[in-house]
């Protein structure tokens, strides 16, 4: 400091030579650090398989949880007991004193029932239809709601980073997704009603008026035309129901895959997925039905030949249905989650 600066009372101005921290690493080292950080395209993803691979993976996931399968089979039997008891009581009171005509060919009620026997049953128990409907309606409703819980369990386990095998873990996933799935169930009700209205009310009646006189099949020019129109309507209606149910399943699978809660957004995603690859999605679902049908046919043949007792069908039929449904639901969510990053293990 000079004498003039000291006398004038001015402080010297400090000069900062280098206050910024200097990184002595070479540029290549910085680039290597940046490139070592994982990007979304580098993260491990859910595998992409064919429809058979996804379905078999779902079956394997279900078979690895025998306790869950046993509990679900027991529950399905209990759920069917009210209706089965009603049918048994009606048959016992209506068919006990029925005499088989001498000219009648011997038959097995378990596999084939002649028309005259059904007519006699109906005559002896006129209230059977109303009683069976009263027992069947709540069972169907409860089964539909429980199906949402089971779908949540299978789909949640299929995408879980830790494959838990216990019943409590299955029910935990089912409870987590029950109410989001229930909202899709509510959204599906007006859609099912609308589809039924299209085929069995004014819209299809208008189509009938263009095909047959006055829109009445009785006035059709030929019996074959009337039969084709009627069978065509029934076939299209059933296909529409299957497609709508499949879209709802895709919506629920997209919920689990995207960890979302919006039922409306999931419904649009399900529609988009079906429109994007309808053949693949329909093929996957059809494959599950083929396996289930094959299971039923195989059990029927084995039982008819006496290779397995008839009472075993009470357990084996629901087991096959539950197993194939688990394979479809778990496989479907894995199909929807293809190429998505795998979740980190907790």
Number of domains in the chain: 1
Burial class (CB in 10 A: 0-12, 13-18, 19+), 308: middle
C-alpha radius of gyration, the chain, whole number? 32
Measure the CA–CA gap between 167 and 171, rounded to whole angstroms: 6
| 28 lies in some domain | no
| 40 lies in some domain | no
Q: Quote the domain boundaries for residue 287.
A: 57-94+114-336
| 109 lies in some domain | no
User: Is 59 in contact with 327 (CB distance < 8 Å)?
Assistant: yes
For helices 202-211 and 223-258, the axis angle rounded to 10 degrees is 150
Q: Please give the model's pTM, rounded to 2 decimal places.
A: 0.77
Q: How many CB atoms lie within 10 A of CB 79?
A: 17
List Cβ neighbours of 185 (8 Å cut-off, separation of 6 or more).
144, 145, 148, 248
**144-193: pLDDT as tens digits:** 999 999 999 999 999 987 767 789 999 999 999 999 999 999 999 999 99
| 108 lies in some domain | no
The pLDDT-based confidence of 100 (bands split at 50, 70, 90) is low
pLDDT at 41: 47
**273-321: pLDDT as tens digits:** 999 999 999 999 999 999 999 999 999 999 888 899 988 999 999 999 9
> Read out DSSP for 277-292?
SHHHHHHHHHHHHHHH
| 1 lies in some domain | no
Measure the CA–CA gap between 113 and 105, rounded to whole angstroms: 11
pLDDT at 15 over 90: no
Tokens of 268: 């649009």
| 82 lies in some domain | yes
| 265 lies in some domain | yes
Measure the CA–CA gap between 273 and 251, rounded to whole angstroms: 9
Q: What is the DSSP letter of 109?
A: T
| 106 lies in some domain | no
């Amino acid at each position: 400091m000079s004498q003039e600066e000291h006398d004038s009372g001015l402080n010297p101005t400090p000069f900062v030579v280098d206050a910024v921290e200097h990184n002595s690493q070479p540029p290549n080292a910085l680039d290597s650090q940046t490139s070592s950080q994982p990007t979304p395209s580098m993260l491990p993803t859910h595998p992409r398989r064919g429809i058979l691979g996804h379905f078999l993976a779902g079956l394997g996931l279900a078979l690895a949880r025998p306790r869950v399968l046993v509990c679900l089979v027991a529950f399905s039997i209990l759920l069917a007991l009210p209706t089965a008891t009603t049918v048994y009581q009606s048959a016992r009171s209506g068919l006990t004193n029925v005499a088989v005509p001498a000219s009648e060919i011997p038959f097995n009620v378990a596999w084939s029932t002649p028309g005259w026997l059904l007519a006699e049953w109906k005559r002896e128990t006129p209230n059977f239809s109303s009683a069976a409907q009263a027992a069947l309606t709540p069972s169907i409703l409860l089964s539909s709601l429980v199906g949402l819980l089971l779908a949540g369990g299978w789909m949640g386990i299929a995408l879980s980073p830790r494959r838990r095998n216990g019943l409590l873990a299955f029910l935990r996933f089912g409870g987590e997704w029950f109410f989001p799935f229930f909202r899709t169930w509510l959204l599906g009700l007006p859609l099912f009603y609308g589809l039924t209205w299209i085929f069995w009310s004014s819209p299809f009646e208008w189509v009938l008026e263009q095909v047959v006189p006055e829109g009445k099949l009785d006035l059709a020019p030929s019996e074959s035309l009337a039969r084709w129109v009627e069978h065509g309507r029934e076939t299209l209606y059933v296909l529409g129901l299957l497609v709508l149910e499949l879209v709802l399943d895709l919506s629920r699978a997209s919920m689990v895959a995207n960890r979302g809660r919006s039922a409306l957004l999931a419904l649009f995603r399900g529609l988009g997925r079906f429109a994007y690859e309808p053949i693949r999605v329909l093929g996957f679902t059809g494959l599950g039905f083929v396996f289930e049908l094959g299971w039923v046919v195989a059990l029927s043949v084995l039982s008819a030949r006496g290779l397995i007792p008839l009472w075993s069908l009470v357990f084996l039929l629901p087991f096959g249905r539950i197993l194939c449904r688990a394979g479809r639901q778990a496989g479907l969510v894995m199909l929807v989650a293809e190429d998505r990053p795998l979740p980190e293990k907790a």
